[in-house]
């Protein structure tokens, strides 16, 4: 990365490859680009690992075993038959080499069951919902943190990678269909960063919902910026809800791996209900289980996860989750209260097999990208894998595109002329947004509710836009981005047929297929 000084004395950053985001996808992109000889700048809102969704990932990372075709079929089946077969082939084909190269050989992630650095087949392999066999590498029930933290440390020591933390990307810098970098908000001021190629790896949209398993910063920044710049956005209707999140004041995710080890779901009357819903019972696809949990909570008042069948016992097998229960005075022996919570965006910025978007020199990877792998419903423990595989592909390709290609263009800094808004402004708008999304664009949807949501969010977006025209702050731009993403979800959902985690319960749930969307409505 280079810096030069303008006539006003302001340093202007230039880099071969700019990566926005520091979860597994962003780290993988940075690693691949640096390995290819590029100078890489990683700009991230995060100030600590737990600010990234990767750090929150519990279950693990799926790897291809002796039967790749079975893995492929599981991904396709979980997607309700809507995943892109070519994208699934890439995921399954790259999985083993990517995990072994990066997570085992380079980072030494201490997966359970064998010493760090062992062969992939030597580790313990878990099973989760919709997997037909045990293929998931894990570290207790906190795999994400054991992946991300050594990844960040490794990259910080890499000569070709520079980090800018607590830096929010506001907008893409574009000219005639090419992306030249971003405007960054850092330390209270806005600065342009010019790059030969830009990779968006900004995570999900949990901030759009009242209950989510995402960190607070999951405000859909990459999706919104790409949509504003005119990139194709696809499959936004597919928002996956995790069926087993603790629903108290301090929620947490109860890993699907617990059900993979035998835990069962019981309703408020103590009855096990999943065998009557799906042949795979508790190990049915997530969308099926989430709807069943919602229905039983509505009918009987609560659902609890009975962990007594876990061997040798829950506390021994999942000490991290047991500790989370203890912190909330939840006794696992009584069953863990659970409810669906927004978990993962299966759609996003449309990309090809190398992470290229429809805009020149713009790439995307991870949850903000729509690769086609997940279709209408993501198979458990494929999010870290997709972020790793497409991050490596995007980073390598971005390095080729961005080598010595950073080009400055004239930019117009966002206007910041009006007084800062009180904190209550954003909190009130978020409350309205989340109530709308929770009630109308949740686990089950109707066309009437979706149209109501679309109208409400369109008005809310107009109100927020009026303030962003003359003010610059992280909280305001995050609100803008969350509102844009919510509108894209509601719009796509109102136009798309029911499938997977987009479950429309009208008698006539037919609609037109969503071929793409933009930031306007």
In this structure, the strands spanning 252-253 and 239-246 are: antiparallel
User: Is 285 within 8 Å of 130 (Cβ atoms)?
Assistant: yes
- 14 half-sphere exposure, CB direction, 13 A CA radius: 14
Q: How many helices and strands, by DSSP H and E, does the chain display? A: 14, 19
Rounded to whole angstroms, the Cα distance separating 213 from 144 reads: 13
User: Is 424 within 8 Å of 398 (Cβ atoms)?
Assistant: no
Active-site annotation holder among 13, 259, 286, 356: 286
User: Is 60 within 8 Å of 126 (Cβ atoms)?
Assistant: yes
For 243, list phi and psi in degrees, rounded to 5: -75, -20
| SS3 state at 219 | coil
Give the total residue count for the chain: 521
- What contacts 387, CB < 8 A, 6 or more positions away? 23, 24, 25, 28, 54, 201, 365, 366, 367
Rounded to whole angstroms, the Cα distance separating 490 from 478 reads: 18
Three-class secondary structure assignment of 124-146? CCECCCCCCCCCEECCCCCHHHH
Rounded to whole angstroms, the Cα distance separating 219 from 477 reads: 9
Name the nearest CA neighbour of 476 among 511, 427, 432, 439.
Answer: 427
User: Is 353 within 8 Å of 88 (Cβ atoms)?
Assistant: no
User: Is 402 within 8 Å of 195 (Cβ atoms)?
Assistant: yes
Q: Is 433 left (phi over 0), alpha (psi -120 to 50) or beta?
A: alpha
Catalytic residue check, 286: yes
Structure tokens given for 159: 């000569």
For 477, list phi and psi in degrees, rounded to 5: -70, -35
Quickly list DSSP for 246-287.
Answer: E-SSS-EE--HHHHHTT-EEEETTS-B-GGGT-TTGGGS-HH
Residue reference for tokens 């291809």: 64
**Active-site residue numbers?**
286
């Amino acid at each position: 990365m280079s810096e030069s000084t303008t006539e006003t004395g302001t340093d202007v950053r230039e880099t071969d490859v700019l990566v926005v985001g520091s979860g597994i996808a962003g780290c993988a992109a940075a690693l691949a680009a640096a390995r290819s000889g590029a100078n890489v700048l990683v700009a991230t809102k995060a100030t600590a690992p737990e600010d990234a969704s990767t750090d929150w990932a519990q279950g693990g990372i799926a790897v291809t075993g002796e039967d790749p075709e079975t893995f492929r079929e599981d991904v396709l089946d979980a997607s309700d038959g809507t995943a892109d077969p070519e994208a699934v082939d890439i995921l399954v084909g790259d999985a083993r080499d990517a995990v072994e190269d990066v997570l085992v050989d380079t980072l030494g992630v201490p997966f359970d069951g064998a010493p760090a650095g062992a062969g992939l087949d030597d580790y313990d392999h878990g099973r989760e919902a919709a997997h037909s066999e045990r293929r998931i590498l894990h570290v207790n029930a906190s795999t994400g943190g054991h992946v991300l933290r050594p990844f960040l440390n490794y990259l910080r020591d890499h000569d070709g990678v520079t980090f800018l933390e607590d830096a929010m990307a506001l907008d893409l810098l574009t000219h005639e269909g090419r992306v030249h970098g971003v405007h960054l908000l850092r330390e209270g001021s806005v600065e342009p960063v010019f790059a030969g190629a830009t990779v968006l790896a900004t995570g999900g949209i949990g901030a759009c919902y009242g209950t989510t398993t995402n960190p607070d910063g999951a405000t859909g920044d990459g999706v919104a910026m790409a949509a504003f710049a005119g990139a194709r956005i696809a499959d936004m209707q597919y928002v996956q809800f995790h069926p087993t999140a603790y629903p108290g004041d301090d929620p947490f995710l109860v890993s699907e791996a617990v059900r993979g080890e035998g835990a069962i779901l019981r309703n408020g009357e103590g009855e096990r209900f999943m065998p009557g819903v799906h042949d795979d019972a508790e190990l049915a696809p997530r969308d099926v289980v989430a709807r069943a949990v919602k229905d039983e909570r509505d009918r009987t008042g609560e659902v609890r996860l009975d962990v007594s069948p876990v061997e040798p016992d829950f506390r021994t097998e999942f000490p991290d989750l047991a500790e989370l229960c203890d912190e909330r005075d939840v006794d696992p022996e009584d069953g863990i209260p659970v409810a669906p919570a927004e978990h993962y965006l299966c759609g996003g910025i449309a990309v090809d097999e190398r992470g290229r978007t429809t805009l020149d020199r713009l790439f995307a990877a991870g949850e903000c990208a729509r690769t086609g792998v997940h279709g209408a419903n993501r198979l458990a423990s494929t999010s870290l894998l997709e972020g790793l595989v497409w991050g490596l592909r995007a980073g390598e390709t971005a390095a080729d595109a961005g080598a010595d290609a950073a080009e400055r263009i004239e930019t117009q800094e966002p206007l910041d002329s009006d007084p800062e808004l009180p904190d209550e402004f954003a909190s009130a708008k978020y409350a309205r947004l989340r109530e709308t999304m929770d009630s109308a664009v949740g686990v089950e949807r109707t066309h009437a509710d979706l149209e109501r949501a679309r109208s409400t969010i369109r008005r809310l977006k107009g109100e927020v836009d009026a303030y962003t025209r003359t003010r610059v702050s992280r909280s305001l731009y995050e609100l803008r981005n969350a509102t844009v993403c919510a509108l894209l979800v509601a719009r796509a959902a109102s136009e798309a047929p029911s499938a997977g985690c987009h479950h429309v319960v009208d008698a006539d749930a037919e609609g037109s297929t969503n071929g793409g969307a933009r930031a306007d409505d």
